[in-house]
Amino acid sequence: MKINKIEIYGFGKWNNVIFDLKQDLQVFYGLNEAGKSTLRQFIYSILFGFAGGRGNHKYLQYVPKKAQGAAGYGGNLVVEYQGKTYQIERIKGKNGGKVNVKNMDDGLEMNPEFLTEMLGPIDQNAYERLLGFNQSDLDDFNDLGNRDDLRRHILRMGAVGSDEWIKLENDLKKEADKLHTASSRKRDLDLKIKQYKEAVDQLQADKAKLPDYQVTKDLEEASQQKLQQVRSEIAKLNTKITETNNLINTWPTYSETLDLKQKLQDIPEAYLNLDLNQLEVLANQIRENQNELRNLQSQLEDLPNEKNNVIDITKLDELQSKLPEVKLNYGQLEDLKHRFNRLNQQLEEIQAQYQVDLGNLKPMPEGQFVKLKDLLLKQKRKNADINQLKTQMLETTGSRSTHTNSNSNVVIGAAAVLVVIDFLIPLNWLFKLILLAIIIGGGYGLTHAKSADNVKPDEESLEDVLKRDETEAEQIKTAIKQIGDKTSFNAFPVEDWVALQSNLLNYQHLVNEMSELKGHLTQVEEQLDTFWKFSDGILPVDEHRKETLQTLFEQVNGMVEQDRKQQSISQQRQLLNKSVAERRAELDKLQIQFKQLNGPEINADFDDWLKQVRSAQHLNLRLNTLLESNQVKFFDQLQQYADLTKLQQLQNEQEQKLAEFKQAEQDILDQRANQLGELTGLKSRVDILAEQQLLSEQETEIKDLVSEWLTLQLGAEWVDQTLGVATKGRLPVILDKANEYFRQITNQRYQKIEFDKDDMINVTDEAGNVFEIGELSKGTMEQLYISIRFAFMQAFADTVRLPIIIDDAFVAFDDVRLRQAFSLLKKIAEQTQVIYFSAKKEVYDLIDDQKIINLNEK
Amino acid sequence: MKFIHAADIHLGSPFQGLKNIPANIRKRVVSSTGVAMKNLVQAAIENTVDFVCIAGDLFDNPEPDLETLNLAIDQLEILNAANIPVFLSYGNHDYLNAKIPGVIFPDNVSIFGEKVETKQITLVDGSTVDITGFSYNKRAEINARIEEYPSKNNQADFQIGMLHGSMDGLKSSEAHYAPFTISQLLAKNYDYWALGHIHKRQTLNDMPVIAYAGNTQGRHINEPGPRGISLVTINQQKQTDVQFLRTDVVEWTNVAVQAQKGMDLQQIISAIIQAVEPLAAQQLKLVNINLQNSNVLTPEILDELTSGIVLTQIQKQLDQEVFWVYRISLKVNNNIRIFSELDQAYWEKATANVFNEKKVQEKLGRLMELDFIAETYGNDLELNPLKDQVELMLKQRNALGDERDEN
Q: Which domains does chain B have, with CATH numbers?
A: 2-246 (3.60.21.10), 249-334 (no CATH), 340-407 (no CATH)
What span, in angstroms and rounded, lies between the C-alpha atoms of B240 and B101?
Answer: 35
Q: Which domains does chain A have, with CATH numbers?
A: 1-122+804-858 (3.40.50.300), 136-210+686-801 (no CATH), 335-512 (no CATH)
* Residue B406 pLDDT: 38
Q: Is the peptide bond before B208 cis (omega within 30 degrees of 0)?
A: yes
In tens, the pLDDT along A728-748 reads 888 888 888 888 888 888 888
What is the rounded average pLDDT of the residues A413-433? 61
Grade residue A108 by pLDDT with cuts at 50, 70 and 90: confident
- Inform me whether the C-beta atom of residue A597 falls under 8 Å from chain B C-beta atoms: no
In tens, the pLDDT along A464-486 reads 777 888 888 888 888 888 888 88
* Residue B11 pLDDT: 92
Strand order in the sheet with B86-89: B109-111, B86-89, B51-55, B2-6, B228-234, B240-246
B70-76: long-range contacts, CB 8 A cutoff, minimum separation 24 = B70/A213, B71/B11, B71/B34, B71/B37, B72/B11, B72/B37, B72/B105, B73/B104, B73/B105, B73/B106, B75/B37, B75/B38, B75/B40, B75/B41, B76/B41, B76/B105, B76/B106, B76/B108, B76/B109
pLDDT top residue among A245 and A458: A245
pLDDT top residue among A311 and A509: A509
What span, in angstroms and rounded, lies between the C-alpha atoms of B119 and B113?
Answer: 11
| Percent of chain A whose predicted confidence (pLDDT) is above 70 | 87
* Residue B6 pLDDT: 96
Put simply, whether the predicted model's pTM sits higher than 0.90 gets the answer: no
Beta carbons of B372 and A702 less than 8 Å apart: yes
- Inform me whether the C-beta atom of residue B403 falls under 8 Å from chain A C-beta atoms: yes
- Inform me whether the C-beta atom of residue B23 falls under 8 Å from chain A C-beta atoms: no
* Residue B83 pLDDT: 92
Which amino acid type is present at position B237?
Q
* Residue B2 pLDDT: 95
* Residue B298 pLDDT: 84
What is the rounded average pLDDT of the residues A681-708? 85
* Residue A607 pLDDT: 86
pLDDT top residue among A552 and A205: A205
* Residue A545 pLDDT: 54
Residue A723: pLDDT over 90: no
Predicted-complex ipTM score: 0.89
- Inform me whether the C-beta atom of residue A367 falls under 8 Å from chain B C-beta atoms: no
Q: Which residues of B touch A164 (CB under 8 A)?
A: 399-401
Residue A779: pLDDT over 60: yes
What is the rounded average pLDDT of the residues A232-237? 91
Strand order in the sheet with B128-133: B117-122, B128-133, B158-164, B192-196, B209-212, B202-205
CB pairs < 8 Å spanning A and B = 190
- Inform me whether the C-beta atom of residue A214 falls under 8 Å from chain B C-beta atoms: yes
Q: Which residues of B touch A714 (CB under 8 A)?
A: 354-355, 360, 363, 386, 390
Residue A448: pLDDT over 60: no
Q: Which residues of B touch A61 (CB under 8 A)?
A: none
In angstroms, what separates the C-alpha of B397 from chain A's closest C-alpha? 9
* Residue B7 pLDDT: 94
pLDDT top residue among B79 and A438: B79
Residues whose CB is less than 8 angstroms from the CB of residue B121 and which lie 6 or more positions away in sequence, other chains included? B50, B51, B85, B128, B129, B131
Residues of chain B with pLDDT under 70: 169-175, 335-337, 398-407
Q: Which residues of B touch A212 (CB under 8 A)?
A: 66, 99
